[in-house]
Amino acid sequence: MSNIFNTDYVDLSSSNNLLHDFFQIIQNFDKMNIKEMEPTIKNINKNIFDGDLSIAVDELVNLIFKGLNEGKDEEVLKRHVLNYINNHNIILQEIYDWLLNNQCNSNSICLLGYFNFYGIEVNVNRQIAIELYHKAAKSENNVAQLNLANIYIYGKGTDKNYDLAFKLAKNLAEKDVPNAINKLGYCYNNGIGTDVNEQKAFELYKKAADLGSSAAMSNLGWCYDKGTGTVVDKSKAFELFQMSANLGNSYGLNNLGWFYEGVGTDADKQKAFELYQKAANNGNYIAQYNLALLYENGNGTEKDISQAIYWYNASAENGYPYAKHKLEELLDV
């Protein structure tokens, strides 16, 4: 779940050697077989000047950075990237070819990694994406470092590396990057690369939430709901879930839906269904599971086993083991 924090005190002063450690790890990564992607021989449209695409690349990376700090979900952020490209009349193939031919600065390298990670104009190739992110991270590219921290926390496309994830998050948290502060809170909350420290997790979630991170708002709400690093306050949890949901965060939507099932407020199964559906459409695997449960049992909507199977399958494909078990039950596998 997500976390947030409100604090004037965060002990981030114990990292004098942080950058040295971080770049040492990056250098060690270089010893792996990193192959630079081959430039394409295709021509770029003569009506598009290199400078124009260079500006577009910088704006796209800034858009991603802003979205990450606001707590936008991966699928939502990807749609924003595609909308920017479409609204600026840029042909996907042309910008992808340009990126292949212009791996000359950290933004172009990072965006090429982003295209490979999410399968934009190319088949998904997370190994290449990670290699490109590491190359951009060596130049202290913020988006590359944030994406690597997320990758190493969850093991997306590679093995988990909690130590590196923690160092990446801490490095950027010291620069007051909201997404990194929220991630650092998650690390302290779950013992990722450090000892569990619920009080520090709460403080960091609060700080990131105060800086506008909807993901941190949801995480902070979870702290108030469970009494993690603070006292239990269901009304405060509900308020934070509502704030996060209003900003479109899928975890906030899911958690608010959970409350509307009667956990922390008066039950409204139809409202819970609507909230789960919004979060599920944004790729949230927990909401997909919860939505499938409502379809299976006919709560908040008509019973529909085919829809239940569809959403259990979506959740299972996103790695949720409980959804896989439910799917096996319904299909008698």
Mean pLDDT score, 47-65: 83
Q: Which tokens is 28 given?
A: 């060690």
Place of tokens 């992808």: 96
In this prediction, residue 52 has a pLDDT band, given cuts at 50, 70 and 90, of confident
Q: Which residues pair with 206 in a beta bridge?
A: 5
Q: Above pLDDT 90, what percent of the chain?
A: 79
Q: Which tokens is 159 given?
A: 């093995």
Question: CA 138 → CA 35, 134, 175, distances in Å?
Answer: 15, 6, 17
Residue from 218, 195, 217 nearest 11 by CA: 195
Residue 78 within a domain: yes
- The answer to whether the beta carbons of residues 52 and 101 sit under 8 Å apart is no
Residue 58 within a domain: yes
User: Over 50: is that where the pLDDT of 41 sits?
Assistant: no
- The answer to whether the beta carbons of residues 159 and 129 sit under 8 Å apart is no
Q: Which tokens is 138 given?
A: 């060596």
Q: What is the pLDDT of residue 199?
A: 98
Mean pLDDT score, 136-144: 97
- Alpha-carbon span 211 to 230, nearest angstrom: 20
Considering the entire predicted model, what is its pTM? 0.84
Residue 105 within a domain: yes
Note the pLDDT tens digit of each residue in 87-100: 999 999 999 999 99
In this prediction, residue 109 has a pLDDT band, given cuts at 50, 70 and 90, of very high
Residue 106 within a domain: yes
Q: What is the pLDDT of residue 44?
A: 45
Residue 113 within a domain: yes
- Alpha-carbon span 288 to 283, nearest angstrom: 8
Phi, psi of 302 (to 5 degrees): -75, 145
- The answer to whether the beta carbons of residues 168 and 145 sit under 8 Å apart is yes
Phi, psi of 5 (to 5 degrees): -155, 150
In this prediction, residue 262 has a pLDDT band, given cuts at 50, 70 and 90, of confident
Q: What is the pLDDT of residue 7?
A: 33
Residue 193 within a domain: no
Category of 157 on φ-ψ map: left (φ > 0), alpha (ψ -120 to 50) or beta: left
Q: Which domain holds residue 76?
A: 48-147
- Alpha-carbon span 111 to 77, nearest angstrom: 13
Q: Which tokens is 174 given?
A: 């010291």
Q: Give the length of the chain.
A: 333
Mean pLDDT score, 284-299: 96
Note the pLDDT tens digit of each residue in 166-216: 999 999 999 999 999 999 999 999 999 999 999 999 999 999 999 999 999
- Alpha-carbon span 45 to 101, nearest angstrom: 13
In this prediction, residue 266 has a pLDDT band, given cuts at 50, 70 and 90, of confident
Number of structural domains in the chain: 1
In this prediction, residue 57 has a pLDDT band, given cuts at 50, 70 and 90, of very high
- Alpha-carbon span 52 to 67, nearest angstrom: 22
Residue 25 within a domain: no
- The answer to whether the beta carbons of residues 240 and 220 sit under 8 Å apart is yes
Least confident piece of the model among 4-18, 108-122, 212-226? 4-18
Residue 75 within a domain: yes
Residue from 211, 278, 291, 307 nearest 73 by CA: 278
Q: Which residues pair with 5 in a beta bridge?
A: 206
